[in-house]
Structure 1
Amino acid sequence: MRVTKFEHAALRIDEGSDTLIIDPGSFTAPLDDLRKVVAVVITHEHPDHWTPEHLDRILLAAPGTPVFAPAGVAAAADGYEITVVAPGDTVTAGSFTLRFFGGEHAVIHSSLPVVENVGVLVNDELYYPGDSYTVPDGVEVSTLAAPVGAPWLKIGEAMDFVLAVAPRRAFGVHDMTLSVIGKNMHRGRLQWSTEQGGGEFFTLEPGDSLDL
């Protein structure tokens, strides 16, 4: 299995001849080579994690592709067929088994509503929490896509999240809100946290891939 990071929170996972896309949002450049997409996962309804333009592009290249997302996305994505998932659900699509965790987006501020959010574990190998610090109970995470920067993120809390998950491998995502200096500083903190559990941290720029 290979994971490729794109801008911000978007991930492409390839397994055999199948492709999974996660969170193609407004900070992500248009994706290409989409004919082999067998599923899309959207962790929550905020536009930096999905846009109609990205969905249209995917569905034009791979008609009928299922889109898995919480109920809030189904309500926001009017006109799209969304398969609603919730924490505790497991679904399959092509070569992928997807297990969902969490339930709520991390708090940004008391004045803003807390929306639904699901973390996703792909093939019991790669875990991406969306916009949350949800640790998947009872799961030994081999590879963690760890948020680096966000309005809801405090780097100390992100470090504690990585320490709690203790992955064998980790790389940073959710990073387009940071300057180059801030991004590198936060990556260094998450690298330290990964190494405390004996894991290895990888620095991936948009378009970089990691074989799992």
Structure 2
Amino acid sequence: MRITKYEHAALRIDEAGRTLIIDPGSFTTPLDDLAAVVAVVITHEHPDHWNASHLDRILRAAPGVPVFSTAGVATSAADHEITVVAPGDEVTVDGFTLRFFGGQHAVIHESMPQIENLGVLVNDELYYPGDSYAVPEGVEVNTLAAPIGAPWLKIGEAMDFVLAVAPRRCFGTHDMTLSGVGLTMHRQRLQWATEQGGGTFFELDPTQSLDV
């Protein structure tokens, strides 16, 4: 499996000639080489995790592929066909097995309503929690895409999340809100947390890949 990180929260997973796209949002530059896409996962409705132009671009290249997300995204993306999934669901599509966890977006502020959020485990290898610290209970996570910067994120809580998951491999995502200095600092903290469980932390910049 090859995992490619793009700007902010967007991930591309390639396995046996097939491609899965996760969270292509407004902070991500247009994706290309999309003909092999077999599915899209959108963790929640915030625009930094999906927008219509990205979705339309993917669907033009790979017509009819399923888009898995929350009921909130189905409402926001009413012009698109969204397959609604929930924590506890498992689906298999063309070589990818997707297991969903979580349920709620992390709290930004009490004045803002909480929305649905999905964590997703891909082929029992890669776990990405979306905008949450949802730990996939009972799962040994080999590779973790850990949120590293956000309006809702406190670095100590992000470190506790990595400590709780104890992945073999970890890299930071959700990072476009950070300066270069802030990104370096937060990577150092998540590297420390990863190493406490015997894992390895990888610094992935946009378009860099990790083979697992």
Interval containing the TM-score (normalised by the shorter chain):
over 0.9
Paired letter, 2:38: V
Large movers: runs of 4+ above 6 Å: none
- Matching residue of 1:116: 116
Matches within 5 A, 1:144-155: 144-155=144-155
Shift of 1:61: 0.2
In structure 1, the partner of 2:101 is: 101
Counterpart position of 2:83: 83
SS at match of 1:124: coil
Q: What per-residue deviation string (whole Å, max 9, x for no partner) do you get for residues 4-23 of structure 1?
A: 00000000000011000000
CA distance in 2, matches of 1:104, 1:196: 27
**Within the alignment, does 1:54 sit opposite 2:54 as a pair?**
yes
> Once the 2 structures are TM-superposed, how far is the Cα of residue 150 of structure 1 from its aligned partner?
0.1
| Partner SS for 2:170 | strand
- 1:37 matches 2:37: yes
The 1-side partners of 2:84 and 2:92 are apart by 13
What residue in structure 2 maps to residue 159 of structure 1? 159
Query: Match of 1:23, as an amino acid?
Result: D
Deviation string 1:27-71 (CA, Å, 9 cap, x unpaired) is 000000000000000000000000000000000000001000011
Which SS does the other structure have where 1:181 is aligned?
Answer: helix
Q: In structure 1, give the amino acid aligned to 2:19.
A: T
Task: Write the distance in 1 (CA, Å) between the matches of 2:147 and 2:167.
Answer: 14
1:156 Cα deviation from its structure 2 partner:
0.2
Q: Distance in 2 between matches of 1:12 and 1:116?
A: 22
State the distance in 2 between where 1:37 and 1:92 align. 14
State how far apart, in whole Å, the 1-side matches of 2:94 and 2:202 are.
Answer: 27
Q: Distance in 2 between the 1:78 and 1:152 partners? A: 27
In 1: Cα distance, 2:21 partner to 2:114 partner: 24
SS of residue matched to 1:178: coil
Deviation, 1:89, is: 0.2
Deviations 1:58-92 (A, max 9, x none): 00000001000011110111110000000000001
Aligned length: 212
User: Aligned letter for 1:103?
Assistant: G
**Identity over aligned pairs, percent:** 77
CA RMSD of aligned residues (A): 0.3
State the alpha-carbon separation in 1 of the partners of residues 153 and 75 from structure 2.
Answer: 26
Cα distance in structure 1, aligned partners of 2:60 and 2:113: 33
SS in 2 for 1:101: strand
Read off the aligned partner of 1:186 and give its amino acid letter: H
Q: 2: CA distance between counterparts of 1:158 and 1:205?
A: 19
- TM-score, normalization: structure 2? 1.00
Superposition deviation, residue 142 in structure 1: 0.3
Q: Distance in 2 between matches of 1:178 and 1:209?
A: 21
Structure 2 Cα separation of the partners of residues 77 and 115 of structure 1? 15
Aligned equivalent of 1:64: 64
Give the CA deviation at 1:116: 0.1
Deviation at 1:101, TM superposition (A): 0.0
Counterpart-to-counterpart distance in 1, 2:4 and 2:17: 15
Cα distance in 2 between the residues matched to 1:191 and 1:131: 20
